Structures are given as C-alpha cells and as structure tokens.
Amino acid sequence: MPIKYVIEGHRITGPAAFWQAVGEAVNGPGGYFGRNRDAFADCLSGGYGTPQDGDFTIEWRDHDVSRRALGTAFFDELVEIMEERAPGALRLC
C-alpha cells in the first residue's frame, strides 16, 4: 500500500506557502521538501522523506485554489516536475 502525502491546496497563497505545505505534508511540521524547483525535483527522486522505491502518492486537494494563488505557469511547472520525477504519484483533487 503506497504512502499518501496530502497537500492542502487551500493553504497555498504563493510559492513560499507551497514549499511549506509540501514540506510539512511529506516530513511533518517544519519539514523540508525543496524550496525551489530544482530542489523539489531532487526530493521527488527519493530519500528526502519519500520511500526510495517510489511507492507513494501525493494528493493535492483544492488544487484549483493553488493554481490561482501560484499562477497557472508556476502551477503547471510543479505538476510537470511531479509527473516527470514521480510518474503516477500525483492525484489532483
């Protein structure tokens, strides 16, 4: 059974809030899971809180709220990184 990490999209008000939300979703309060696109991509490759075997999902709730807060271009870049580095793991809700 894969581990499920949940990003609460309604908490995302901009890029800094996204980095905080994803860090806490994966590694708990104050957790780190990247603070820029490159670091985020590296973290998705495993070893920074996600299982090395890639057996996890990221459920991004209220993603439409996040898209508006982050801007479509940045949101789409994040989704692309997730689909590239963790194929099949992303669930947009």
- Residue identified by tokens 């801007």 is 71
Give the contacts of 3 (CB within 8 A, at least 6 positions apart).
50, 51, 55, 56, 57
pLDDT value at residue 52? 79
Label residue 77 exposed, middle or buried (CB < 10 Å: 0-12, 13-18, 19+).
Answer: middle
From the centroid of its chain, how far is CA 63?
Answer: 11
CATH of domain 3-92: 3.30.370.10
pTM over 0.75: yes
pLDDT value at residue 81? 97
pLDDT value at residue 1? 80
10-residue mean pLDDT profile of the chain (93 residues): values are 94 97 96 95 86 89 98 98 94 96
